[in-house]
Structures are given as C-alpha cells and as structure tokens.
C-alpha cells in the first residue's frame, strides 16, 4: 500500500485471524509441557453449610492419581486470611478463596481438586471422592430477601431536583421491570495451566482479560516479586467480563502445581461455568416517569435491586443510563444489593447499563403510548445538550444523527402506531425502538514499538484481545502514524512482562491502549526525524536506510499515555439507537426478531469490519437476553437446573434477523488522539427494550419481565 494512506478505519482482516482459523492459536488449555498433570474439580452438592468430612481413599488409589487437594491439605497461601469462628467470613468483601476452610457458600462450590496424569483419570477419580456436609438453611430467591437488602459501600444513589416530582406530572407511568440471571457461556470454558520453578517463580497460562491484574494478584497471594510471576493469555475464546478477575480454577491450578511439583492444567466443565466465573445478576427495578402533555419530562424515579453473594458485594451501574440519558430536571435513583447464598456476580457485557436500560427504555415507550406520542419524537424532544448529572458538556454527541439517519434507513415513518395494526400474513408485526448510553473513558496505558533493520515495526503491550479485534486496531494505529502498511507492523500482546495496559473491559481499550500505541509510534517517528536533524514530515521515512546510516540494528520508543486534564471538563459517552421489527404468532406467542437496525455514535471507527462484527455480537446478545436466556434456580436446593447449553437457550444462526449497522463515524475531539470512543458495550445497551417495545406494538401486551417467552404472551 502507498505511504501516507490512512489505515485507521479501513476494514482490514484480523492480524491473528489466520492463526485462529488453522488452529495455530493456543488457548489456555492448549499448552502442553513435560510431565503435565490435569485437575478435575469436585463441587459441593449443598448450598450452605460446612464440610464434615472428605473421603479421598478410593480416589487416591485410582490409576494415575497424584494428589487430591482440599482445605485439609492445601499448600499455604500467605495472602489468604485465616478462618475464624465468626458467623461473618473474615474475607468478606474479597473474591472467593478456594480451599480456605470448610465453609460452603454456594452450590457447586469447589471442595476438592483431583490431580492425575490424564484428564480422563482425573475425572474418574473425582467421581470417587465422597463428601459429607453439615447443612444450613439457604436463601437464593431475591424476592424473598428484599427486606435484607443493603446499600453498596460506594452508593450509586443520586438525586437532582425533587425525588417525587413525577407524581405531579399530568401524564405519568409507574411499573416494575425484571431481568434474569444471565450466564456468560463463552465458547472457551475457563482454564488455567500453571507451573512453578522453585518456590519463587510462577508461570501461568490463563484465560484472562488482564494479565497484569493476574500477575499482581498472584504476587500478592504468594508474596512474590511481580517480575517473578509470568502470565500469558494471547488468545481468549470469548469472555464478556467473565475473565475480568480471578476465579477458582486459577488458584487451584497454581496450588496443584505446587503440591505435585509439575505443570497442572485445570479446565472447568460447562456446568461449572455457571457457578464459578460470575454472571449477570438478577434485577428488580421500579421505574416511574412523568411528563407534560407535550412530552417534556418532569420527573423520573428509578429504584433497583440486584443480587450479590454473602461473602462479597458486587455492584454495577444499573442506574447510570437514567442519570444522564434524558433532559429531566427531577431525577431520583436508589440501588440496593440483596445478599444471597450464591457465588458472586461479575461484569457482564454492558454491566448494569444493559439491565437498567431495559427498565428505562421500556418506561419511555409506555410513556409515549400514554401521551399518544411517537416514541422516537418523545426521545428527541428530551435530548440532553449536556450531561445533567456531571453538569458538563459532552466530549461529543451525535445521538440526534443516530435518531434521524437510523429512522430513515429503517423506514420508521411507515409505522402504524396502533398495537396489532401491522401484519405479515397470519403473523403480527411490531416495530419498536430504544436508545442507549455508555461511558466513554480512557485509562493510563503504555506501549513500546521497535523498528527493525528490515523495516518491520514490532509493538509490545500487555493488552488482551478477547475477540473485538483490539490487536488489529493497534496495528492500524501504528501503521497510520509511522506511514507503514499494516503488513509491516507486528504485535506481541497479552504478556505480563510487556508494557502496562488496563484490562480489556469497559469499552476503553482503544481509547486507552490505542493512545499509548499512538504516542509510542509518534515518539519513534520523532526519534528518526531527530536522527536526520531535518524535517521529513513531507515524505515517507526510510527507516531501514536511517538505521543503516547511523550503524543501528533497531530503534525503540516506549510511551506512557494517560488522560489529559482537559478531559475533566467534559463528559464522555457513546450512544446507540435501535430500531427493531418482530413477528409474533397470535396463537402460540412465538416471537421472532426479523429485522434490526442499530445506529452507533462511538466516535471515529477504527476498523469498520471488526466494529460491524462487534455490533452483530451485541445484537445477538440482545436477542438472547430479550427472548431466551435465563438462569433457572431451584430455590429448594439452591442450584441451577439448566446449567448446560441444551437447556440454557442462546440464539443460534436460524434465530438471527437481518441486521443493519450504521456508524456516525465522526471523531471525538477530546477523548484520545485517534478520535475513538467506546464501542464494545453500547451496541447492546437498550436493545432488549427495543425488542420488548416491538413485541408490545405487535401484540398490545406489555412484558416487563425478561425473557419474553411464549407463555407470557398467551397467558
């Protein structure tokens, strides 16, 4: 490609795509070492209580078994806090610690790890372990425990104006909305391969969204120097937040490797992914909204409850969309956590905002019908010129363009507003819409770039790539700055020894790590310009020639990048608007999403191919949450009854509609030097409500509890 051609924005193929397609990519469970051993996890069959005894005799006599690890013989972990006889765990507020003591905190909790020479031997021996329990009464139903709700340590409660102003509005609606437990279920189950060199050097091959975080945690737990903990996670087969923190299989693999003195690999089974690696928490939301007869919002009240574990408090941004999305002088929000005898939830794509926007955008649709007003017109009328919560101007905001151009592409003007008024043969047709808002932030990051004598530039950064195409985007950014083709740029990533990148979540990877790559490339380019002592800005730089001229084999630049103080003067957000068409069978209540158009304001698009794929994935998630996905718990026993992909329904190819994606593609002038804003989550925010609103338009029946299953429509 010609020099000075812009590669940012181009739909180039993923730089790691070939490795994935031909099977060269190594995931956490693909590593093999001499004398490798494998661990199989034994899990509790009760939900709350204590372990009375563990009988491992038969397991230890089984072929190939090396050890059976439990709280009785676990190696010491200096960072663990010791148990006490207190009714409150001494580690309350921290992540679950495998084999800390004999207490059972949730069903299917790890109670033992059988380590054997092969996976089959480990799994067979695990079936021979016998555990007796002292059981206690448990609680897993959020409805039955609302009275025990607590305010999170970092309260999300917020009020501007009068808390109950909505009640005095001439038109108002009040309703309760519910969202279910949702499990990540990535294609790659969570796995860790670990081994020790001596007592002070630890190697971890992990499924992780942040290798630096993993390194810090294990260094703290085992009192090691950070540089003596090696963590690699170059390929991750889906995460969506489920690999954003430490989970039991990581610690069990590290403990096991210390006990048997050889590499140990622990891969969770599909059923165990439901219990051990977080999930989207259940939510109950009471939403009230009032307006003048012309649609001008008067007041909003948003009260939300979410579940957490008893040993740790997990909170999410369920109230955030309500605080900033619409121009409303009176807003009151409250958020409480309901501790249950379950494992801890964790960030799940669009954490908090996905659930909160379902209530907000459903309520806006209900208000539009109460006003006899077009749902799109109601949203446009209450557009926010500034962020009312932060009382700051937006860094950029093209939401109005998303409304207008999205509606035009979808053909919204052809919609008959009356419910049950549109048909396709015998099928009821519904058109609904919704909007979304998600934070656009930037965190400190670092990267290095080395120019080689052959003209190849090599980026090094610890950034993860869980699938959105981040390392491809980093390649494009460096190519753009250095006036190289992407083929001349290589990248090494997801190694904890490389320069620091924040974990890949929260839609800030491009703005954060991308800025570091941009700055490192700029610094490297300047080094070459300084070597020449003349300006070469107007022509392509002959990097190999300059290196040869100065007797150098390579030249490297490292840059640390952090948010500029100027950012504090602005509020950064990305925006989305969804237009949805559904067909509903009038007798069976079967719902099919037939068409989706999603319009996105995420700043300048770095790669239109990977960005488009991100939105396709978001739409898939939205359809799953709206129509299918729900973790079902039998509260008598406190355990999932659909902890597999046969009974936990997710969308398949035949469920997918025609999806049109529109990007405003205008740079944000403040957030980062590339003009990018967050994209990964915002394509999902609000979409579930858009589907529910379309179902109401088709049927005249308002479903306020997800998922929208046929029984709710025909009952």
The yes-or-no verdict on residue 51 having pLDDT over 60 is yes
Residue 560 pLDDT: 96
* Rounded Cα distance, 208 and 235, in Å: 9
175 and 191 share one domain = no
Q: How confident is the model at residue 90 (pLDDT cuts 50, 70, 90)?
A: very low
Query: What is the band of 536 on the pLDDT scale with cuts at 50, 70, 90?
Result: low
Q: Is 171 helix (H, G, I), strand (E, B) or coil?
A: strand
Distance from CA of residue 329 to its chain's centroid?
A: 32
Same domain, 302 and 433: yes
Q: Look at residue 539 and tell me whether its pLDDT is greater than 70.
A: no
Mean pLDDT confidence for 197-206? 96
Q: Which of 494, 528, 562 is the last residue of a domain?
A: 562
Range of the domain at 491: 442-562
Residue 13 lies in a domain: no
Q: Taking 90 as the threshold, does the pLDDT of residue 534 lie above it?
A: no
Q: Residue 21: inside a domain, yes or no?
A: no
CATH of the domain at 198: 3.90.1170.50
- Residues 520 and 609 both lie in one domain: no
Cβ count within 10 A of residue 227: 11
Q: Are 353 and 318 in contact (CB under 8 A)?
A: yes
Give the burial string for 120-144 (b: 16+ CB within 10 Å, else e).
ebbbbbbebbebebeeeebbbebee
Taking every pair of Cα atoms in the chain, the longest distance, rounded to a whole number of angstroms, is 81
What are the start-end ranges of the H helices in 31-156? 57-61, 119-126
pLDDT attached to residue 5: 63
The residue written with tokens 């004999």 in the block is: 102
Q: How confident is the model at residue 3 (pLDDT cuts 50, 70, 90)?
A: very low
pLDDT digits (tens, 9 = 90+) for 664-706: 999 999 999 999 999 999 999 999 999 999 999 999 999 999 9
Q: How confident is the model at residue 154 (pLDDT cuts 50, 70, 90)?
A: confident
Q: Which of 562, 585, 611 is the last residue of a domain?
A: 562
Model confidence at 206: pLDDT above 60: yes
Confidence of residue 92 (pLDDT cuts 50, 70, 90): very low
Q: Do 257 and 405 fall within a single domain?
A: no
* 25: in domain: no
Co-location of 418 and 500 in the same domain = no
- Do 403 and 315 share a structural domain? yes
In a domain, 141, yes or no: no
Question: Are 333 and 463 part of one and the same domain?
Answer: no
Domain shared by 477 and 498, yes or no: yes
pLDDT at position 236 over 50:
yes
In a domain, 373, yes or no: yes
Q: Which residues pair with 204 in a beta bridge?
A: 194, 231
Q: Which of 459, 455, 488 is nearest to 471 (CA)?
A: 459
In angstroms, rounded to a whole number, what is the distance separating the alpha carbons of residues 566 and 583? 48
The percentage of the chain sitting over the pLDDT mark of 70, rounded to a whole number, equals 97
Look at residue 579 and tell me if it is in a domain: yes
Domain count, the chain: 3
Question: For residue 643, what pLDDT band results from cuts at 50, 70 and 90?
Answer: very high
CA distances from 530 to 452, 561, 625 (A): 17, 21, 55
pLDDT at 87 over 50: no
Active-site annotation, residues: 681
Taking residues 379-388, report their average pLDDT. 97
DSSP string, 116-170: ESSHHHHHHHHTT-EEEEEE------SGGGGGG-B--SS---EEES-TTGGGGSS
Does 689 lie in the same domain as 588?
A: yes
pTM (2 decimals)? 0.96
**406 and 323 part of one domain:** yes
Query: 511: closest CA among 378, 640, 603?
Result: 603
Q: Give the confidence band of 86 by pLDDT, cuts at 50, 70, 90.
A: very low
Return the pLDDT at 6: 85
Rg (CA), the chain: 27
Q: In the predicted model, is pLDDT for residue 715 greater than 90?
A: no
**509 lies in some domain:** yes
Phi, psi of 546 (to 5 degrees): -70, -40
Q: How far is CA 542 from the centre of its chain?
A: 42
Q: Which of 276, 296, 331 delimits the end of a domain?
A: 276
Please give the structure tokens belonging to residue 591: 């719902």
Residues 420 and 315 in one domain: yes
Mean pLDDT of the chain: 95
pLDDT digits (tens, 9 = 90+) for 250-280: 999 999 999 999 999 999 999 999 999 999 9
Q: Which helix (H) or strand (E) holds 584?
A: strand 573-584
558 and 658 share one domain = no
Q: The domain that contains 409 carries what CATH number?
A: 3.30.365.10
pLDDT at 164 over 60: yes
- Mean pLDDT score, 201-230: 96
pLDDT in tens, 285-316: 999 999 999 999 999 999 999 999 999 999 99
The pLDDT of residue 532 is 84
CA distance 302 to 529: 56
Whether the pLDDT of residue 561 is over 80: the answer is yes
Residue 145 lies in a domain: no
Cβ atoms of residues 431 and 578 within 8 Å: no
For the cut 50, the answer to whether the pLDDT of residue 1 exceeds it is no
In the predicted structure, residue 94 carries a pLDDT above the cut 90: no
């Amino acid at each position: 490609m010609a020099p000075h051609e812009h590669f940012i924005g181009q739909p180039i193929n993923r730089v790691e795509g070939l490795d994935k397609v031909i099977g060269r990519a190594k995931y956490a469970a693909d590593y093999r070492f001499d004398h490798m051993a494998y661990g199989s996890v034994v899990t509790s069959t009760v939900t709350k209580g204590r372990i009375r005894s563990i009988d491992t005799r038969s397991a230890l006599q089984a072929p190939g078994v090396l050890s059976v690890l439990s709280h009785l013989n676990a190696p010491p972990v200096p960072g663990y806090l010791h148990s006490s006889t207190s009714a409150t765990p001494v580690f309350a507020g921290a992540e679950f610690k495998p084999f800390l003591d004999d207490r059972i905190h949730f069903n299917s909790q790890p109670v033992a790890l059988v380590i054997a020479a092969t996976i089959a031997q480990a799994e067979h021996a695990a079936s021979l372990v016998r555990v007796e329990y002292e059981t206690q009464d448990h609680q897993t139903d959020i409805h039955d425990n609302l009275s025990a709700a607590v305010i999170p340590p970092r309260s999300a409660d917020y009020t501007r104006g009068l808390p109950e102003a909505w009640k005095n509005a001439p038109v108002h609606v009040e309703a309760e909305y519910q969202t279910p437990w949702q499990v990540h279920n990535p294609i790659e189950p969570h796995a860790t391969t670990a081994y020790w060199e001596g007592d002070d050097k630890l190697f971890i091959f992990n499924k992780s969204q942040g290798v630096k975080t993993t390194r810090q945690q294990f260094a703290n737990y085992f009192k090691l120097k950070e540089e003596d903990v090696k963590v690699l996670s170059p390929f991750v087969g889906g995460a969506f937040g489920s690999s954003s923190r430490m989970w039991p299989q990581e610690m069990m693999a590290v403990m096991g490797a210390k006990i048997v003195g050889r590499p140990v690999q622990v891969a969770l089974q599909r059923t165990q992914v439901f219990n051990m690696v977080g999930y989207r928490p259940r939510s109950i939301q009471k939403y009230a909204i009032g307006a003048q007869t012309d649609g001008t919002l008067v007041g909003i009240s948003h009260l939300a409850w979410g579940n957490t574990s008893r040993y740790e408090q997990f909170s999410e941004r369920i109230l955030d969309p309500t605080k900033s999305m619409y121009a409303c002088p009176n807003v009151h929000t409250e958020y409480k956590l309901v501790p249950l005898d379950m494992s801890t939830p964790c960030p799940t794509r669009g954490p908090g905002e996905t659930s909160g926007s379902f209530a907000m955008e459903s309520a806006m649709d209900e208000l539009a019908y109460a006003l006899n007003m077009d749902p799109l017109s109601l949203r446009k009328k209450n557009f926010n010129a500034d962020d009312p919560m932060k009382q700051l101007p937006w860094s950029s905001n093209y939401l109005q363009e998303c409304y207008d151009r999205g509606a035009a592409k979808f053909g919204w003007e052809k919609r008959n507003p009356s419910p049950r008024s549109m048909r396709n043969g015998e099928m009821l047709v519904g058109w609904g819409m919704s909007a979304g808002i998600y934070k656009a932030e930037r965190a400190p990051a670092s990267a290095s770039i080395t120019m080689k004598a052959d003209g190849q530039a090599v980026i090094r950064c610890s950034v993860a790539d869980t699938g959105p195409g981040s390392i491809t985007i980093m390649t494009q950014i460096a190519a753009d700055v250095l006036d190289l083709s992407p083929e001349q740029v290589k990248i090494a990533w997801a190694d904890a020894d490389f320069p620091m990148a924040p974990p890949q979540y929260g839609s800030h990877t491009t703005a954060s790590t991308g800025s570091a790559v941009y700055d490192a490339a700029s610094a490297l380019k300047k080094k070459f310009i300084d070597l020449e002592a003349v300006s070469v800005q107007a022509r392509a730089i002959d990097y190999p020639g300059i290196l040869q001229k100065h007797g150098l084999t390579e030249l490297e630049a490292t840059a640390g990048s952090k948010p500029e103080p100027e950012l504090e003067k602005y509020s950064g957000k990305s925006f989305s608007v969804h237009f949805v068409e559904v067909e509903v069978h009038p007798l069976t209540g079967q719902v099919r999403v037939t068409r989706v158009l999603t319009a996105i304001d995420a700043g300048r698009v770095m790669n239109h191919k990977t960005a488009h794929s991100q939105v396709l994935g978001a739409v898939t998630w939205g359809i799953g949450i709206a129509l299918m996905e729900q973790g079902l718990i039998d509260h008598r026993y406190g355990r999932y009854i659909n902890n597999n992909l046969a009974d936990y329904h997710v969308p398949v190819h035949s469920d997918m509609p025609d999806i049109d994606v529109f990007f405003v593609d205008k740079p944000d002038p403040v957030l980062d030097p590339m003009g990018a804003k967050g994209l990964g989550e915002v394509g999902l925010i609000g979409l579930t409500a858009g589907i529910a609103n379309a179902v109401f338009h088709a049927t005249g029946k308002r479903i306020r509890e997800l998922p929208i299953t046929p029984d709710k429509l025909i009952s």
